[in-house]
Chains A and B, each alone.
Chain A
Amino acid sequence: MKNINTAYYSMAETSTSTSASNKNMKGSPITNLAPDQLFSILLLLPIDSILAFSMTCKRFKALACSDTLWESICRRDWGPNAVDVLKSSNFQFQQQWMRLYRQISKLESVSCHKMTYPDGEFELPKPRASHSLNFVSDCLVLFGGGCEGGRHLDDTWVAYIGKDFEKMLKWQKVNSGLPSGRFGHSCIVIGDFLVLFGGINDHGSRQNDTWLGQVTRHETLGITLSWTLLDVGTIAPPPRGAHVACSVNNKFMLIHGGIGLSGLRLGDTWVLELSENMCFGTWREIVTCPSPAARSGHSLTCIGDSRVVLFGGRGVGYEVLDDVWLLDVSEDILKWVQIQYELPNIPGGVSLPRVGHSATLILGGRLLIYGGEDSYRHRKDDFWVLDVSAIPSISMQPTTLNSKEILAKMWKRLKASGYKPNSRSFHRACADHSGRYLYVFGGMVDGLLQPAESSGLRFDGELFLVELVLQL
Chain B
Amino acid sequence: MKFCTVKQYFDDENNNNVTNGIATTVIPLPNKHLKIKANNKEMEQYEQELLRNVMPQELTKLILAANYLNFKEALDFFCRTVANAIQNKSVDYVRKFFGLESDFEPGEEEKLCKEFAWSFEGVDED
- Are A20 and B67 within 8 A (Cβ)? no
Residues of A within 8 A of B118 (CB): 102, 105-106
- Interface residue from B79, B82, B104, B121 paired with A57 (Cβ < 8 Å): B104
Contacts A1-B70, A28-B99, A409-B121 known; A53 to B116 CB distance under 8 Å? no
- Are A56 and B94 within 8 A (Cβ)? yes
Interface residues in B65-103 (C-beta closer than 8 Å to A): 67-70, 75-76, 79-80, 82-84, 86-91, 94-95, 98-103
- Interface residue from B57, B61, B79 paired with A37 (Cβ < 8 Å): B79
- Are A20 and B123 within 8 A (Cβ)? no
- Are A45 and B83 within 8 A (Cβ)? yes
- Interface residue from B75, B86, B109, B122 paired with A45 (Cβ < 8 Å): B86
Q: Does A220 contact B (CB under 8 A)?
A: no
- Are A45 and B87 within 8 A (Cβ)? yes
CA distance A30 to B113 in the complex (A): 23
CA distance A58 to B61 in the complex (A): 22
Q: Does B26 contact A (CB under 8 A)?
A: no
Q: Does A417 contact B (CB under 8 A)?
A: no
- Interface residue from B17, B98, B123 paired with A8 (Cβ < 8 Å): B17
Contacts A20-B101, A29-B57, A41-B82 known; A56 to B120 CB distance under 8 Å? no
- Are B90 and A52 within 8 A (Cβ)? yes
- Interface residue from A8, A18, A40 paired with B79 (Cβ < 8 Å): A40
- Are B87 and A49 within 8 A (Cβ)? yes
- Are B100 and A57 within 8 A (Cβ)? yes
Residues of B within 8 A of A48 (CB): 88, 119-123
- Are B67 and A28 within 8 A (Cβ)? no
Residues of A within 8 A of B102 (CB): 20, 56-57
- Are B57 and A24 within 8 A (Cβ)? no
Residues of A within 8 A of B79 (CB): 37, 40-41, 44
Quote the shortest CB–CB distance from B43 to chain A (angstroms): 15
Q: Does B60 contact A (CB under 8 A)?
A: yes
Residues of B within 8 A of A4 (CB): 17, 64, 67-68
Residues of A within 8 A of B16 (CB): 5
- Are A52 and B89 within 8 A (Cβ)? yes
CA distance A102 to B119 in the complex (A): 8
- Are A30 and B121 within 8 A (Cβ)? no
- Are B87 and A20 within 8 A (Cβ)? no
CA distance A37 to B118 in the complex (A): 26
Q: Does B38 contact A (CB under 8 A)?
A: no
Contacts A33-B63, A37-B63 known; A52 to B91 CB distance under 8 Å? yes
CA distance A23 to B86 in the complex (A): 21
CA distance A54 to B64 in the complex (A): 21
CA distance A1 to B98 in the complex (A): 23
CA distance A58 to B120 in the complex (A): 20
Residues of B within 8 A of A175 (CB): none
Quote the shortest CB–CB distance from A235 to chain B (angstroms): 36
- Are B116 and A28 within 8 A (Cβ)? no
- Are A51 and B119 within 8 A (Cβ)? yes
Residues of A within 8 A of B34 (CB): none
- Interface residue from A27, A58, A105 paired with B104 (Cβ < 8 Å): A58
Quote the shortest CB–CB distance from A47 to chain B (angstroms): 4
Residues of A within 8 A of B104 (CB): 57-58
- Are A23 and B57 within 8 A (Cβ)? no
CA distance A33 to B65 in the complex (A): 11
Residues of B within 8 A of A21 (CB): 103
A-B contact pairs, 21 of them (CB 8 A): A1-B67, A1-B68, A4-B17, A5-B16, A18-B103, A20-B101, A23-B101, A24-B100, A29-B57, A41-B82, A45-B86, A45-B87, A48-B121, A48-B122, A49-B86, A55-B112, A56-B91, A57-B95, A61-B112, A392-B122, A409-B121
- Please give the residue numbers on chain B whose beta carbons come within 8 Å of chain A beta carbons, in ascending order: 14-17, 56-57, 60-61, 63-64, 67-70, 75-76, 79-80, 82-84, 86-91, 94-95, 98-104, 109, 112-113, 116, 118-123
Lowest 9 A-B CB distances belong to which pairs?
A44-B83, A28-B99, A29-B60, A20-B103, A51-B116, A30-B98, A47-B119, A48-B119, A1-B68
12 additional contacts (CB under 8 A) given A21-B103, A409-B121:
A5-B15, A20-B103, A37-B79, A40-B75, A41-B82, A45-B83, A49-B87, A51-B116, A52-B94, A55-B113, A55-B116, A58-B104
